[in-house]
Amino acid sequence: MLSDYRRIFSPAGSLLFSAAGFVSRLPQSMIGVGIVVMVSRLGGDYWLAGSVSATQALATAPIGPQISRLVDRHGQRRVVLPATAVTVAAICALLLCARYAAPAWALYVAAAVAGCMPSMGALVRSRWAEIHRESPRLLHTAYSLESVLDEVVYVVGPILTITLSFGAGAGAGLLTAAILLTVGVLLFAAQRRTEPPVRTEPQRAEGSALRIPGIGLSVLTATSVGASYGSVEVVTVAFADAHHHKALSGLLLGVYALGSCLAGVVFGAVRPRGAITRRLLVSVCAMVVTMAPLLFAPGLAVLAGLLFVAGMSIAPVLITTMGLVGHLAPAARLTESITWIVSGLSAGVALGYAAGGWVVDAAEAPAGYGVPCTAALLAATTVLLALPRLARADAT
């Protein structure tokens, strides 16, 4: 079954655009951490560092889909190059503002403008959808691969950023993110052969892609999944600290990500069966079941095993959600639709950070795992209640 991973790369240029997409996605996990480390190391308070980083993340959530909407209308190359230029210029301005102690408002403005960064994950998936449009099985495998690469990005990126920021200068991590974004996007845009054509047929409606039946519900599901994922990270750090081994929190979260990566690889190699809406329901229900035991972890060793199992439920949910969006959205709106899912996921992660931290402060660390459990249950409830509507939208 793993032969499907070889087959998805059989079309000319597919390996090149996927590799370039991976490089250009690394900065997504580097910029936020890079801002926090840089501002704090250059003398800024942690609240300032955190709020500037949050400004960039919150700006990306609404701006990203608008950039992708322009991509659907005018083509990837024509939009992604100027959007990247604006983003890199804003990052450089942020570096200079931090280095020369500019007023706080200047940091916020630069961070907000950096939110123009294009959603490279959505652009890559749009190319896979174009290449394997006639082969749902290979498209399923391609989406699985990209979900695994997303996990790798969010494991490698922060480690690389922190290492550079402490080893080569406070702004080194953020500067490297800007360089990787530039190089990755230039290489990606150079792959003209695999760029999806601009479609101007009547299927493109005015207004946001959120108006497409089923897309809004999919975004809401992704937001709940993101909240579960983000809260696990915060609570796990607090749990390890409560057991006097805070340094092991990185290892525990690595085990969590490893579970998701391995599940994504296996899930992508298995032939999908049944309606995709029912597969999504099964996936989110599995997420509820695997999250619940975290509430009863007695110690770090058991928690590591439980996190590995809980992580295995994440990738199938995200892969299936992306696949459903591919069914619901017309080709002329696909990039924007996928980007809304990414934005919902990112917003959910931010909410999970806040909710997890609040519960940990208000109660003991183990109780914090009630947040990811609740978020997973909300995702499952959303899909269950919306199943008839999603099925009707998928059938049209």
pLDDT in tens, 210-243: 888 888 888 999 999 988 988 887 788 788 888 8
Query: Percent of the chain, pLDDT > 70?
Result: 96
Residues 214 and 344 in one domain: yes
| 290-330 tens-digit pLDDT | 999 999 988 889 999 999 999 998 889 988 998 888 888 88
Whole-Å CA distances, 102 to 42, 55, 186, 254, 332: 12, 17, 31, 37, 43
- pLDDT reading at 97 higher than 50: yes
Residues 356 and 216 in one domain: yes
Where among 194, 220, 249 does a domain terminate?
Answer: 194
Residue 113 domain-assigned (yes or no): yes
Residue 5, CB-side half-sphere exposure with 13 Å CA sphere: 13
Residue 80 domain-assigned (yes or no): yes
Instruction: Return d(Cα 391, Cα 394) in angstroms, integer.
Output: 5
pTM above 0.85, yes or no: no
Residues 231 and 83 in one domain: no
Where among 141, 165, 194 does a domain terminate?
Answer: 194
Query: Percent of the chain, pLDDT > 90?
Result: 28
Residue 4 domain-assigned (yes or no): no
Residue 125 domain-assigned (yes or no): no
Q: Which band of pLDDT confidence, cut at 50, 70 and 90, is reported for residue 182?
A: very high
Instruction: Return d(Cα 106, Cα 103) in angstroms, integer.
Output: 6
Residue 52 domain-assigned (yes or no): yes
The domain containing residue 392 runs over which residues?
208-396
Give pLDDT, residue 204. 47
Residue partners of 18: CB distance under 8 A and separation at least 6: 9, 124, 145, 146, 149
Residue 145 domain-assigned (yes or no): no
- For the domain that residue 240 is a member of, what is the CATH number? 1.20.1250.20
Instruction: Return d(Cα 121, Cα 321) in angstroms, integer.
Output: 14
Residues 105 and 214 in one domain: no
Read off the pLDDT of each residue in 361-376 and give the average, rounded to a whole number.
86
